Amino acid sequence: MLADIAERRRPAADALKDWGLAHRFAGSGDRAAIASLVYDGLRRRASATWIMGEETPRATVIGMLRLQRGLAASTIADLFDGSRFAPEPLSDHERERLANGSLDDAPPAVAGDAPDWVLPSLQTLFGDDLLPELRALGRRAPLDIRINGLKIARDEALARLGHLAPEPTPHSPMGLRIPLGEDGRGPALHVEPEFIEGLYEIQDEGSQLATLLAGARPGETVVDLCAGGGGKTLALAALMRGHGRIVATDADLRRLAPIHERLRRAGAEAEIRTPRAGRARADVLEDLDGTVDRVLVDAPCTGTGTWRRNPDAKWRLRPNSLALRVSEQAQVLDRAAQLVRPGGRIVYITCSLLPEENDDAISGLLKRQPKGFTVIDASTVLSEGVPALKPFVRLTRQGLQMSPVLTGTDGFYLSMIERAG
């Protein structure tokens, strides 16, 4: 599967699904264990092959077992014993590399397991913290859920979900963190009775915090312009508690499809405007231009902040992908600028760490709208939203950045822009 993913540049989930269909004799436990090996191998692909001295899928797995899982060389050798279902025994060369291979002289792209062409941008953001942050992006992500305040309080949910051993999330007052198993996989939360009842949604703490910082208030008209499957729409509805108007839409009607069932399950209300397919699609938000209190732009992006969850994505990322996303971000920001009323606000969010998609996108909007918009200072955004979060984010030129090392979340960016009254 590692070879298939690398050669065909395909998502890991697709390769795993195809393998499972072709090997139906493998039980769910085997498939889960294999998936965990694949994802861990992708997390440490560059560093693992560096210490092993060769770029092969086998070297990736062997090096990963040492670097990611911390197994001793003797333990790895015992696993590679050539017996039925086991890999061939380690060669003398592999044993030597396991014993002596080192990342001491590895370049940052190798030591941090990242494409080298994005390092200048990440260096701009992280400075001396570049390598620690890259290594944190190579670790497994935690499993967080957002408690649905429309139906249950977090303390009550904590007791009711006791069988999952949850803990409150460090920063979000809406979140709980569920422990992962040794293989890095969590329980099947989507089959729990509490999920089916709509008491919680699976959502990274960073995404929860971004919604809180968006500052939506009861009574406002809020547009979720890139709603996707509705994660932030649901969180907004819980914060506003039915007082006000939420309008959700997305340019990709396929991504929007799950939102209806999720709203029903959560007991939340939002107006869903689905774009029409075809070339002559009408603007489904035209009647709202210049009237919206708050426009949430959860912009399409490269997803560099989610590499803990999607390690295969970093190896598929190319400069032309970034250029496409930057273009899309400019378009959606310009549309938000049309929607927001005088004195209203645009909240721009990405799950990216690249300044080109974050600060630079906001600077581009301000150049295109030189008199109409100003950035609200990030310290003010934090004070109004989650004051205790300030020591755990990086303040940037135009907003704030969360990161795995500093915040313990995925890499979310947020900027708030106000239209002149």
Q: In the 3-class helix/strand/coil scheme, how is 43-68 assigned residue by residue?
A: HCHHHHHHHHCCCCHHHHHHHHHHHC
Name all domains of the chain by residue range, CATH numbers in brackets: 2-105 (no CATH), 143-202 (3.30.70.1170), 205-419 (3.40.50.150)
Supply the pLDDT for residue 139: 94
CA distance 46 to 59: 10
The reply to whether 250 sits in an annotated binding site is: yes
Residue 354 CA from chain centroid, whole number: 14
pLDDT at 282: 72
Q: Position 49: which residue type? A: T
Q: Which of 369, 283, 375, 370 is nearest to 334 (CA)?
A: 369
Question: What are the pLDDT tens digits along the chain (421 aa)?
Answer: 999 999 998 999 999 999 999 988 888 888 889 999 999 999 999 999 999 999 999 999 999 999 999 999 999 999 999 998 899 999 999 999 999 999 999 999 999 999 999 999 999 999 999 999 999 999 999 999 999 999 999 999 999 999 999 999 999 999 999 999 877 788 999 999 999 999 999 999 999 999 999 999 999 999 999 999 999 999 999 999 989 999 999 998 889 999 999 999 999 999 999 987 665 567 899 999 999 999 999 999 999 999 999 999 999 999 999 999 999 999 999 999 999 999 999 999 999 999 999 999 999 999 998 788 999 999 999 999 999 999 999 999 999 999 999 999 999 999 999 999 8
Which pTM was predicted?
0.94
Q: Residue 119 and residue 128: Cα distance in Å, rounded?
A: 12
Q: Which amino acid is at 254?
A: R
Q: Which tokens belong to 43?
A: 């997390």
Can you give the pLDDT at residue 320?
Answer: 94
Which residues carry out catalysis? 351
**What is the Cα–Cα distance from 303 to 353, expressed in whole angstroms?**
8
pLDDT at residue 181 in the model:
85
Residue 232 Cα to chain centre, angstroms: 13
* Contact yes or no for 52/41 (Cβ under 8 A): no
Lookup result for tokens 């295109």: 368
C-alpha neighbours within 13 Å on the C-beta side of residue 211: 25
Rg (CA), the chain: 23
Determine the pLDDT at residue 231: 95
Sheet holding 175-178, edge to edge: 167-168, 175-178, 143-147, 200-202
Distance, in Å, from the CA atom of 311 to the CA atom of 15, rounded to the nearest integer, reads 14
